């Protein structure tokens, strides 16, 4: 006798059937395809640099969104884990006499261990305090990590930082065969490594928020007391979220360091990075995960090309002093753009679009 | 006679400097629905929250199925088989109806899926809004969801706080029908201001006044005692 499937089972079957046919899935494939062929279509370093940084920061921002948007935890130490990952790979490759693959793996393991231990310590000591104190404590910790990287000159090279070389095909001096008129080289290989890792890490985050655990996190964000009354030990779930997001952030830090082959305290530990991550989440939309891509793209593209666009614009009026002066202050225009985004997309770009689509339904 | 499912002995609860429960004692037997009545501020909701562990009892003992739960956390009490529906249509508004239900299952399994089917037969309107964000439901539907959600778990005791608050009379009527069906399966302690609904659902009751139990008896006897009703319920 065949049993009629329950509503939940029917839902699961529908989801499975639609999984690879949905417009969202096709859009994801299209984005990955564009990122994969982009270096062949526009073989410019600046363009590739922007794309690589968007991929890396999309993952970091999505992992921060897991905390802020899904769980309601404002953890200012999130950027610190990014720095931990970056410094792990940088220090190991810098101090190894002949850098090899295993050094990168070792760096991944070490950064994961440090991040997990640190995030557990943060969780146990500060998650029980009120949200605002948790934010302040984590901010202080992040600042401490920055100071440590500056002061521990003998290990980290202080403010000057350290540059290193990558092993094998990731070494920037490596060159390989030519494909479609583009010479394969170490930089391109790192680009593809970032693409593959970013896709896997992002998929991991998507899987995490769609799992039963993700549902509990959303519930905690909405009302912790109700979640507790339903039978969930919310403290434990918050720890999962903090540890998982810290691990993802530190792995992204490794990718970032591998891309620029240089780290210094300001490039990976500075509070400004955390502020940028926060801005990216707000622009893309909190609690959307995919908004991380939009936020990262908006900020990185603006930072990279807005100054040149302003300069080009100012060249049409070379004698007007005020225009010349204003063209140097791209942050002012960025601020205006940010205000406009917040005004027209109050829930972030993805959040507002989702809300509009929800209203239409 | 069976052992009480819930037993409170001289329970005191403070909220900040206010002494709300001042020695509440009662035994609740399994089966049916027991109503907690009283004026606003009498301590009805506080009693439920204290039992659920959401407010700490400053003194006294609370036994659930014969085990002390004073020192237990709310999630531990919930996992022992106690469900709680707070008074403010306690759904999770940004989650869909489906997510609200699946969250309440705690551990999803065949049994919880079967329970869900039964619950949806009890509240068929919710099936239509399965993928809808819970915050977009009407007031009545939100209350239905808040109650239906806790039913997917096999709780042995349900604490329901003023489910009819702010609902239209027709919705209250539907709610009453559902509560009658629920109390046939699970023991319910219902805090309710709507005396007609309380009478329809409950067999016995307690009246709280100023943090004390001032009456314990059958609903029908209470309904006949006009002086008592006037004195403690203002009806």
**pLDDT per residue as tens digits for the range A252-297:** 999 999 999 999 999 999 999 999 999 999 999 999 999 999 999 9
pLDDT at A357: 82
Report, as ranges of residue numbers, the positions in chain A whose pLDDT lies below 70: 1-3, 126-127, 359-361
Q: Which CATH class is domain A45-304?
A: mainly alpha
Burial class (CB in 10 A: 0-12, 13-18, 19+), B159: buried
What's the total number of domains in chain B?
A: 1
Structural Rg of chain A based on CA atoms: 22
In-domain check, residue B1: no
Q: Is the ipTM of this complex over 0.90?
A: no
B233 has pLDDT over 90? no
Residue B52 lies in a domain: yes
pLDDT at A1: 47
Whether the CB of B116 is below 8 Å from some CB of chain A: the reply is yes
Torsion of CA A84, A86, A91, A93, to 10 degrees: 140
B84: nearest CA in chain A? A229
- Euclidean distance between CA atoms A68 and B44, whole angstroms: 36
- Between positions 242 and 281 of A, the ones with CB within 8 A of B are none
CB contact under 8 A, A223 and B92: yes
Higher-pLDDT residue of B96 and A357 is B96
Q: What is the number of alpha carbons within 13 Å of residue A353 lying toward its C-beta?
A: 10
DSSP B18-41: EEEEEEEEEEE-SSSEEEEE--TT
What average pLDDT does the segment B57-84 reach? 94
Q: Does residue B233 belong to any structural domain of this protein? A: no
Amino acid A156: pLDDT: 93
Domain that holds residue B91: 6-228
The H or E element spanning position A289 is none
A222 with B78: Cβ contact below 8 A: no
pLDDT for residue B235: 72
Task: Report the CATH number at residue B17.
Answer: 3.40.50.300
SS3 (DSSP) at A219: helix
Query: Taking the domains of chain A in order of start, what are their residue ranges?
Result: 45-304
Mark yes or no for CB contact A231/B79 under 8 Å. yes
Contact in structure between A334 and A277 (CB atoms under 8 Å): no
Query: B144 lies in a domain?
Result: yes
- Per the prediction, chain B carries an average pLDDT of 90
Distances from the Cα of A294 to the Cαs of A121, A289, A346, in angstroms?
32, 10, 14
Enter the tokens of residue A203.
Answer: 């998929």
Residue B235 lies in a domain: no
Question: In sequence order, which residues have a C-beta less than 8 Å from that of residue A76 and are 6 or more positions away?
Answer: A135, A138, A139, A141, A142, A271, A274
Residue A223 with chain B: CB contacts under 8 Å: 90, 92
C-alpha distance from residue A91 to each of A77, A83, A162, A259 (Å): 21, 12, 8, 15
- Under a CB-based contact definition with an 8 Å cutoff, are residues A240 and A213 in contact? yes
pLDDT of residue A103: 94
d(Cα A277, Cα A283) in Å, to the nearest integer?
10
* Per-residue pLDDT at B169 exceeds 90: no
Residue A3: per-residue pLDDT: 66
């Amino acid at each position: 006798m065949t049993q009629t499937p329950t509503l939940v089972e029917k839902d699961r079957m529908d989801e499975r059937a639609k999984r690879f046919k949905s417009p969202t899935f096709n859009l994801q494939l299209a984005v990955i395809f564009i990122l994969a062929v982009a270096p062949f279509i526009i073989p410019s370093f600046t363009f590739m640099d922007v794309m690589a940084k968007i991929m890396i920061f999309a993952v970091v921002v999505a992992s921060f969104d897991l905390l802020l948007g899904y769980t309601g935890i404002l953890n200012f130490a999130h950027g610190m884990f990014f720095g931990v990952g970056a410094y792990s790979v940088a220090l190991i490759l810098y101090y190894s006499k002949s850098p090899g693959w295993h050094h990168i793996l070792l760096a991944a393991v070490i950064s994961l261990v440090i991040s997990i231990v640190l995030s557990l310590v943060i969780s146990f000591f500060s998650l029980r305090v009120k949200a605002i104190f948790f934010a302040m404590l984590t901010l202080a910790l992040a600042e401490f990590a920055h100071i440590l990287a500056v002061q521990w000159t003998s290990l980290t090279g202080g403010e000057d930082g350290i540059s290193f070389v990558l092993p094998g095909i990731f070494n920037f001096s490596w060159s390989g065969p030519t494909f479609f008129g583009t010479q394969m080289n170490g930089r391109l290989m790192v680009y593809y490594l970032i693409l593959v890792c970013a896709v896997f890490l992002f998929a991991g985050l998507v899987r995490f928020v769609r799992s039963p655990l993700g549902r509990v996190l959303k519930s905690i964000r909405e009302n912790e007391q109700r979640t507790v009354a339903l039978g969930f030990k919310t403290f434990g779930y918050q720890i999962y979220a903090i540890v998982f997001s810290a691990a993802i952030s530190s792995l992204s830090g490794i990718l970032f360091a591998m891309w620029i082959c240089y780290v210094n305290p300001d490039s990976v530990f500075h509070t400004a990075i955390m502020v940028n991550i926060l801005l990216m989440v707000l622009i893309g939309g909190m609690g959307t995960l995919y908004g991380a891509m939009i936020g990262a793209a908006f900020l990185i593209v603006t930072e990279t090309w807005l100054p040149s666009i302003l300069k080009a614009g100012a060249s049409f009026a070379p004698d007007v002093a005020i225009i010349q002066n204003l063209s140097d202050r791209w942050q002012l225009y960025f601020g205006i753009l940010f205000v406009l985004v917040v005004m027209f997309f109050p829930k972030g770009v993805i959040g507002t679009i989702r809300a509009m689509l929800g209203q239409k339904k | 006679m069976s052992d009480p499912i819930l037993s409170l002995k001289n329970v005191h609860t403070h909220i900040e400097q206010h002494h709300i429960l001042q020695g509440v004692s009662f035994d609740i037997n399994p089966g049916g629905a027991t109503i907690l009545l009283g004026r606003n501020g009498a301590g009805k909701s506080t009693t439920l929250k204290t039992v659920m562990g959401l407010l700490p009892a400053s003194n006294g003992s609370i036994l659930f199925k014969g085990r002390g739960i004073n020192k237990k956390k709310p999630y531990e009490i919930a996992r022992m088989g106690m469900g709680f529906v707070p008074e403010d249509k306690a759904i999770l508004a940004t989650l869909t109806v489906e997510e609200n239900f699946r969250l309440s299952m705690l551990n999803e399994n065949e049994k919880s899926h079967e329970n869900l089917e039964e619950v949806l037969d009890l509240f068929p309107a919710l099936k239509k809004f399965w993928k809808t964000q819970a915050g977009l439901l009407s007031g009545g539907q939100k209350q239905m969801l808040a109650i239906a959600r806790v039913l997917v778990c096999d709780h042995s005791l349900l604490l329901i706080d003023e489910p009819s608050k702010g609902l239209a009379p027709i919705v209250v009527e539907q709610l009453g029908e559902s509560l009658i069906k629920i109390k046939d399966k699970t023991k319910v302690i219902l805090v309710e201001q709507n005396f007609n609904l309380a009478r329809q659902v409950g067999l016995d009751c307690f009246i709280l006044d100023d943090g004390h139990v001032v009456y314990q008896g059958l609903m029908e006897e209470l309904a006949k005692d006009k002086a008592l009703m006037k004195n403690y319920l203002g009806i």
